[in-house]
Structure 1
Amino acid sequence: MGSPALVLFNSMSKQKEEFKPLVEGQVSMYVCGITPYDYSHIGHARAYVAFDVLYRYLKHLGYDVKYVRNFTDIDDKIIKRANESGEDPLSLSNRFSEAFLHDTSELNCMPPTHQPRVSDHIEQIKDLITKIMENGCAYTIEGDVYFAIDNFPDYCQLSGRKLDDNRAGGGGRVSVDLRKKNPADFALWKAAKPGEPSWDSPWGPGRPGWHIECSAMSSQYLGTAFDIHGGGKDLIFPHHENELAQSKAACPEFKISHWMHNGFVNKDNQKMSKSDDNFFTIRDIIAKYHPLALRFFLMRTHYRADVNYSDIALENASDRVFYIYQTLDDCKQGLSRFREEELKGQIPAKVKESIEKFHSSFIESMSDDLHTTAVLDDLMEPLKAINSNLKQLKGKKPPKPVILSLLALEKEVRDVLDILGLLGASCSEIVQQLKDKALVRAGLTEEQVQQLIEERNLARKNKEYAISDKIRKELSGKGIALMDEANGTIWRPCEPEKDAAAELVSNCSIES
């Protein structure tokens, strides 16, 4: 029985479709990047983690993937911020572009094949505008160039909106221009204004409009037909709608097979965004939580659904990631005492069957529109099996089937984590990093925790159980769990304990 076909939701058809690339064995993918005028927030992380998962899974399936993600490094918002700070606009956007690359690297996102910047593609943009004008779908007004939607009958085929619902620009990037033939016509080229970056053009000095940039860069790197165009669902209109119109107006044969859009990150049931000033930057979050915990949190919800941000959900994600890496580290330590010849042989048939079942379920879930939620739930089974076998490893001479089972289970878990982008370089280092982040959230140092452990041990020795219980409970309330073992008391991160009423209220705000 072969692997299931990859099925992805297509925003154009509004349904799941079997993914068939235009060229067998190759995938061409364009994802709209950021406008770098500030540090990126976790709404950005949501998008780029989602498409990183897609990128990784396509590569796992054996495709040669050309992935293009741009930087809109010249834009109204950048110019406004640069004017406020007294900085050159391109210098400011370059600084925040580099910050974005650092942040996405922290989240274990693979770098795309190409990462073009608008400022490096002005000639391609001007050429595309010229083609649109030659085909009768654009006009000029005093150095500005507008797309004429009345001359393009297929406008709104992606969003399905009615023309009466349309508005110019979008996202606060442009103001209403009464000179336009239709209020919904959008700018392809903006005439130069004092103090703004500009380039020479056939229509006079100026700079590109927002939408034309992606049309020019996608065709530059992927041609006039490619497989996947992605971005946040807020880009469906006007950005992607206008992109599609521009590209088809310039080249009627232009084709994108699959449009994909991810959901938002919400805070208090409102979309998290810079313009509404209700966002957390990626840096805000990973100062307190491990980057893999943030990645896990974002992947716990299907990429097309909205994620509701909460500290409790992040705590839960951090706890799960700690469990994964503590288990893998324990497994590595447990197997380290065996010689190489002891690690060879046939794994038990029952374990082999359970691994094959898990892998088959993984492929089935991922091929069903990247169902990462199911995959992360299923991942707990082989991890439980590892812990179960580890208990049998403590004897002087553990059965060889146990050793071989652990090896096979560990390899399968690591392989799946790698495909998901959740595999770090060193299990022991990540365990320590997770503990360090827990200390940050608790407002404690390692030395302070050890001192409290000693105070608790002394209280227990003196049979002052009320004091020892108070210390344990207070630490647990800060996300530090104490565990009494044969060799002494150790600690690990945990979800902070809350009273039942508070827990109930908090759980009501979390989307599953």
Structure 2
Amino acid sequence: MRLYNTLTRDLDQVLTDAHRSGETPFSMYVCGPTVQDVPHFGHARAALIPDVFRRALEHQGIEVLHVRNITDVEDKIITRAEEEDRDPAAVSEQYSRVYEAQMKRLGILEPHIVPRATGHIIEMIELIELLLDSGHAYVVEGGADAIPGSDDVMFRVRSFEGYGKLSNRDVDQSLAGARVDADARKEDAADFVLWKAAKPGEPSWRSPWGPGRPGWHIECSAMARKYLGSDFDLHTGGTDLIFPHHENEIAQAEAAYGERFARLWLHNGMLNIDGEKMSKSLGNFITLDDAISRYGGPVVRLYFLQIHYRSIAQFSGERLREVESAWNRLTGFVSTAPEGGQARQEVMTAAVAALGDDLNTPEVVSAMFTQVKEGHAALADGRSADAGAARATVMELAGLLGLDLATGTHDDTDVAPLVETLLELRDAAREAKDYATSDTIRDALSAAGIVVEDSRDGARWRRS
């Protein structure tokens, strides 16, 4: 298995002999959500990609240790709490539960460990103390709005020789391309905060530098180290986290411990809408709940699986409807074809190889629909054994991708065979120029709440 490693900018081997022998599990840390609001459609991708990767490993008998954090103390959470006159802990708890519920609806496997930042303040303080002792950090007085007796702690970016190796840019390039907060207390404009002095009304914890709270970057460094140790196997997240978040994680951890922080770095592409990244700050987002409620979790999952994880995904309602029709074709075939066949091993071997080649999910999805097409042809010819083999292959390919074909979408599994059959009759009528029959079928489907949309690839359908 090979993955594109952001750190080396090359396809690197995933497994070691220790993984293959079962001596040690494959360790992966997934950057989880900052829980100040409901997740939007794009947030699904950052959880889905490592989920598929984990499934590919476990399919080959590799044990996986999967950690995904929750950032439950951060500026955005505090701002949301102030706007709603609520306790920040209540805000983070509410949206943590919403996020976890949405992940279940997407079929995301539950991580083995889900650490929360607020439960690891001690580990963060210990890490900051190591950085202070080694000269990589320094203490400054809290800002004008800080509680008296509380200080900030800053990281000396230029003290870490390897800074910029993940994002492939030096410190001065990073400064030129980023909005830097002008702070006269910093030794260097590039330095970033490890510990924030407490402000009135904000959550805080006791520390050697007075009451305060951790900076965002130190949270992941401390939690990953606690559960996976140094030099764990894989760290994942969206490309928007490469700089500064992941770059700073590396700097903090490696400066403190003198060991590599993570061996492989996997970053998924962003989701764009109207040419811009889908973002709550831009106000151009679609909530994940809305998308799942309208189309179903499997359709949202299939939407992303049809795009390579490193590519930028373009959000489109039209595209979602196309994927919904594709899902209906899958469930319709599975409910029609005979059960009990054996999956075609040559197809499964090729699918596993595709996932092992930088997680090529589009190739696996394509193979699944090829089997549906061949299965329908076999049914039409009366070759039930071939249709059964196609069905078994589709089911196993879907399982490899985490798609549960047994559940259907909005109960469409029950009606899909009937709708597909009527559409085939409608296609035959259109070819025979029997437009009266074609229109009658379409009208009947419309009356039953089924919308038929004609395209270059044939008729698609969805519930109205």
Matches for 1:318-337 after TM superposition, within 5 Å? 318-331=324-337, 334=338
1:175 deviation in Å?
A: 4.3
Query: What is the alpha-carbon distance in structure 2 between the residues aligned to residue 327 and residue 268 of structure 1?
Result: 35
The 1:167–1:192 alpha-carbon spacing in structure 2 relative to 1, beyond 3 Å, is: farther
1:378 deviation in Å?
A: 1.5
- The aligned residue for residue 416 of structure 1 is 397
1:468 deviation in Å?
A: 7.4
Query: What is the alpha-carbon distance in structure 1 between the residues aligned to residue 366 and residue 435 of structure 2?
Result: 38
Instruction: Please identify the structure whose Cα radius of gyration is greater.
Output: 1
Match of 1:254, SS? coil
1:360 deviation in Å?
A: 2.5
Whether the 8 Å CA contact 1:132–1:250 is kept in 2: the answer is yes
Matches for 1:281-296 after TM superposition, within 5 Å? 281-296=287-302
Match of 2:235, SS? strand
- The aligned residue for residue 14 of structure 2 is 19
Whether the 8 Å CA contact 1:73–1:117 is kept in 2: the answer is yes
1:423 deviation in Å?
A: 1.6
Match of 1:287, SS? helix
- The aligned residue for residue 156 of structure 1 is 164
Whether the 8 Å CA contact 1:33–1:69 is kept in 2: the answer is yes
Alpha-carbon RMSD across the aligned residues, in angstroms, is 2.9
TM-score normalised by the chain length of structure 2: 0.86
Match of 2:70, SS? coil
Query: What is the alpha-carbon distance in structure 2 between the residues aligned to residue 474 and residue 141 of structure 1?
Result: 73
Query: What is the alpha-carbon distance in structure 1 between the residues aligned to residue 393 and residue 197 of structure 2?
Result: 57
1:433 deviation in Å?
A: 8.3
- Matching of residue 381 in structure 1 with residue 370 in structure 2: yes
Task: Return the match for 1:363 from 341, 352, 370.
Answer: 352
Task: Return the match for 1:203 from 177, 190, 209.
Answer: 209
Query: What is the alpha-carbon distance in structure 2 between the residues aligned to residue 118 and residue 38 of structure 1?
Result: 17
**Consecutive unaligned residues in structure 1, runs of 5 or more:** 1-5, 336-342, 394-401, 439-464, 483-489, 504-512
Query: What is the alpha-carbon distance in structure 1 between the residues aligned to residue 285 and residue 309 of structure 2?
Result: 19
- Matching of residue 9 in structure 1 with residue 17 in structure 2: no
1:163 deviation in Å?
A: 1.4
Query: What is the alpha-carbon distance in structure 2 between the residues aligned to residue 79 and residue 434 of structure 1?
Result: 48
- The aligned residue for residue 37 of structure 1 is 36
- The aligned residue for residue 57 of structure 1 is 56
- The aligned residue for residue 183 of structure 1 is 189
Whether the 8 Å CA contact 2:197–2:211 is kept in 1: the answer is yes
1:176 deviation in Å?
A: 3.5
1:492 deviation in Å?
A: 5.5
Match of 1:42, SS? coil
1:155-203 deviations in whole A, cap 9, x for unaligned?
1111111212324997x8x943221001110110000000100000001
Task: Return the match for 1:253 from 234, 253, 259.
Answer: 259
Matches for 1:18-167 after TM superposition, within 5 Å? 18-21=13-16, 23-24=18-19, 25=22, 26-142=25-141, 143-167=151-175
- The aligned residue for residue 315 of structure 1 is 321
1:367 deviation in Å?
A: 1.1
Query: What is the alpha-carbon distance in structure 1 between the residues aligned to residue 389 and residue 436 of structure 2?
Result: 45
Match of 1:379, SS? helix
How many equivalent residue pairs? Answer: 430
Query: What is the alpha-carbon distance in structure 2 between the residues aligned to residue 425 and residue 76 of structure 1?
Result: 42
1:90-139 deviations in whole A, cap 9, x for unaligned?
11011101100111111111111111100111111111111111111000
Match of 1:166, SS? helix
- The aligned residue for residue 235 of structure 1 is 241
1:214-254 deviations in whole A, cap 9, x for unaligned?
00000011011200001000100000000000000110023
Query: What is the alpha-carbon distance in structure 1 between the residues aligned to residue 276 and residue 409 of structure 2?
Result: 38
The 1:304–1:239 alpha-carbon spacing in structure 2 relative to 1, beyond 3 Å, is: same
Query: What is the alpha-carbon distance in structure 1 between the residues aligned to residue 265 and residue 385 of structure 2?
Result: 45
Whether the 8 Å CA contact 1:322–1:434 is kept in 2: the answer is no
- The aligned residue for residue 485 of structure 1 is none
Task: Return the match for 2:250 from 214, 222, 244.
Answer: 244
The 1:434–1:45 alpha-carbon spacing in structure 2 relative to 1, beyond 3 Å, is: farther
Query: What is the alpha-carbon distance in structure 1 between the residues aligned to residue 83 and residue 293 of structure 2?
Result: 27
Whether the 8 Å CA contact 1:379–1:413 is kept in 2: the answer is yes
Query: What is the alpha-carbon distance in structure 2 between the residues aligned to residue 150 and residue 391 of structure 1?
Result: 69
Query: What is the alpha-carbon distance in structure 2 between the residues aligned to residue 208 and residue 185 of structure 1?
Result: 15
1:408 deviation in Å?
A: 3.1
1:276 deviation in Å?
A: 0.9
The 1:128–1:378 alpha-carbon spacing in structure 2 relative to 1, beyond 3 Å, is: same
Match of 1:46, SS? helix
- Matching of residue 391 in structure 1 with residue 380 in structure 2: yes
The 1:88–1:467 alpha-carbon spacing in structure 2 relative to 1, beyond 3 Å, is: farther
Query: What is the alpha-carbon distance in structure 2 between the residues aligned to residue 22 and residue 235 of structure 1?
Result: 30
Task: Return the match for 1:213 from 207, 215, 219.
Answer: 219
Whether the 8 Å CA contact 1:22–1:226 is kept in 2: the answer is no
Match of 2:111, SS? coil
Amino acid in the other structure paired with 2:274: D
Amino acid in the other structure paired with 2:308: H
Amino acid in the other structure paired with 2:157: I
1:491 deviation in Å?
A: 7.9
Match of 1:144, SS? strand
**Consecutive unaligned residues in structure 2, runs of 5 or more:** 142-150, 420-433, 458-464
1:40-83 deviations in whole A, cap 9, x for unaligned?
01111111111111111111121110011101100000000000
1:381 deviation in Å?
A: 2.0
* Aligned-residue identity in percent: 37
1:237-293 deviations in whole A, cap 9, x for unaligned?
000000000000110023311011000110011111111111111012122212111
